Chains A and B, each alone.
Chain A
């Protein structure tokens, strides 16, 4: 009999150990709990934690029956963590999401239209609301905005002896030989296959007057004269040595390892002032604005707080989101993180020569395609762009092949 008892105890111990890791968090003492996942939007970890601790405290004071728990997770692998948690029926009640993520998570997101007051909704910039809307439904409350206009390094321009900053593609091509002759690149293009095309090829496609998807979102539209023009422009920069060649295909590049970090590049639309500041010096950053060809447009994003359908207490979750996105809290957060306000006409950096200029470009941002298959299409287009830039294919052939592959995705 002894061994049966031992086995039973052992089995219980094993089961207990396994189940210990599967416990759920429930409200205690009649309190409901709201969990939120966010990421290092404020780069300084201590400052970020302090912001949320203070916000939680203030909110809980006003809402004593709600317990808010904000978790700050790393940016890396955030989709893996979120999807696996959701597939396991876990995951947060509220999450920080950007437009690129919204279409994929849309089936799991609680439409926010009925949780936001008409006044609060009306206070947002139209571009911010559009970026958080999928299939005519608001997927969350915008919390911040960003923009990636063209910024230039004054130190490099001084070294080259150039006083005029480029505003168009033609300007860039005119300046490029002068920069090359002095050992500088006029522009950088990091074509990392794992990076989003929203930051690389798409801005050029939009500037040329093209788009990624057709108007109804059912097919791709990048294989167009505008698409080819944008890729040819990039190919010229690469072939003529006007941009760092190794950055065209390298993965996971740190800015320290690039010519941008070594003050060898004139301009970039792939970096924002906060990233280059410590390498260039804030006084050397000149914000030109979105680059122009046929259109003047830049990539930008909108960070929103979305409520997931699994949220146990939707009213409490909505109260929390509305508290954070109220002007006072949101302005504080946007300033501390160095981002911009999604509220219409709400200028946080008036008088600041860098951020003030960045703020002015917010109404010219495109947040990228908001379709379910947008990321999948990037997956087949990205390697073809690399093939064109490394000379393996012509721009026209690369886009043609990418379109063929994309048809297998969009149907």
Chain B
């Protein structure tokens, strides 16, 4: 007790204050480091996003005059068959692209999980599409899917030739979704690889000792451990697929007959082709709400533990 009192008298309070001051200094320094990024994010991402949403309530001309329209743009959206068609196309695209991307990412992560000769090379190659321009890749894929391209030719060998996929109203979305998967699975693979490194090896070894096969180990030991990463990936991929645009613009221009005309394509045309910026803002708000709702549903299904 005496020792404690002595300690308090001779210095226990001042060190705490010093630590607190140091902690504040550290926090300030940290804040300073993130400040440029934060300012840039606020100015170039958050600000324009909010402004875009606000635009949805105005009739905004390129000259800068804005007239309050209340919910008019949203009412128009509700009655616009092009919007509903674009929404349907977007959902179909996402329903194909998201699960296939996550599955491909998971498969590639499992394949490249263990160290073997050349694993780094394979990981790099699988990641390469992520950093490849989709406009450039789109031009190449357009040729691959064309009447003279290898994809149509190969399908012809097994009796599935005919209309090239990009010219078919039915097959154009699966074709574009495949391009989306190609461009995105490498990112997912990286996330899942990191998550796989955190799965304790002992758990798998214990399961092996208990007689579990490879599939059982994966299904009951590895997969549950990946749930947070899979949730993150599902949300990111859904958001990305809702925003699909570059490859579609390059490969189909929204055609044939609006069969690949997505919500972002609609937003782009309303904003930059027809200069109806208020209506484009309303489409942006609808897209945001849709993304939010789907992310919440995904959280309920996949992310309830964390």
Contacts and interface: CB of A to CB of B under 8 A. Distances in A.
Is chain B a partner of chain A in the same complex? yes
A392 B64 contact: no
Contacts of B277: 87
Nearest to B258: A383
Interface stretch (A3-11, A43-51, A60-68, A313-321): A3-11
Interface string B21-39: 0000100110110011001
A84 B261 CA distance: 23
A18 B39 contact: yes
B280 to A, nearest CB: 11
B81 A405 contact: yes
Interface in B227-264: 249-258, 261
Of A80, A83, A104, A249, most buried by chain B (CB within 10 Å of CB) is A249
Given A11-B35, A392-B169, A408-B79, A375 B255 contact: no
Interface residues on A, range: 35 or more
A193 B253 contact: yes
Contacts of A83: 62, 272, 275
B255 A86 contact: no
Contacts of A79: 272-273, 275
A383 B257 contact: yes
Nearest to A195: B253
Given A7-B32, A379-B273, A249 B255 contact: yes
Nearest to B27: A3
A288 to B, nearest CB: 29
Contact of B35 (A14, A249, A251): A14
A86 B252 contact: no
A309 interface: yes
B274 interface: yes
B64 A87 contact: yes
A376 interface: yes
Nearest to A380: B82
A33 to B, nearest CB: 21
A7 B25 CA distance: 11
A193 B172 CA distance: 14
A194 B254 CA distance: 8
Contacts of B275: 79, 83, 104
A108 interface: yes
A80 B43 contact: no
Nearest to B28: A3
B193 interface: no
B62 A193 contact: no
Contacts of B252: 193, 249, 251
A386 B255 contact: yes
A83 B249 CA distance: 20
Interface string B290-305: 0000000000000000
B251 A107 contact: no
B257 A7 contact: no
* A interface majority secondary structure: helix
Contacts of B82: 379-380, 405
A6 B32 contact: yes
Contacts of A386: 255-258
A252 B142 CA distance: 10
A10 B63 contact: no
Given A194-B253, A392-B169, A86 B274 contact: no
Interface in A1-36: 3, 6-7, 10-11, 14, 17-18
Contact of A390 (B31, B81, B169): B169
A83 B276 CA distance: 11
A14 B147 contact: no
A193 B254 contact: yes
A142 B35 CA distance: 51
B56 interface: no
A18 B62 contact: no
Contacts of A194: 249, 253-254
Given A246-B146, A392-B169, A383 B261 contact: yes
B36 A87 contact: no
B202 interface: no
B97 interface: no
Given A250-B167, A390-B169, A408-B80, A3 B29 contact: yes
Interface string A362-400: 000000000000011001100110110010100000000
Given A17-B36, A194-B254, 6 more contacts: A251-B251, A251-B254, A376-B276, A386-B257, A390-B257, A408-B76
29 contacts: A14-B36, A14-B39, A18-B40, A83-B275, A86-B62, A86-B64, A87-B64, A104-B62, A104-B274, A104-B275, A107-B61, A107-B63, A192-B253, A193-B252, A193-B253, A193-B257, A194-B249, A194-B253, A246-B147, A249-B256, A251-B249, A376-B274, A379-B82, A380-B82, A383-B257, A384-B257, A386-B256, A392-B169, A408-B80
Across the A-B interface, the 7 shortest Cβ-Cβ residue pairs? A251-B253, A249-B256, A194-B253, A383-B258, A387-B257, A193-B255, A386-B257
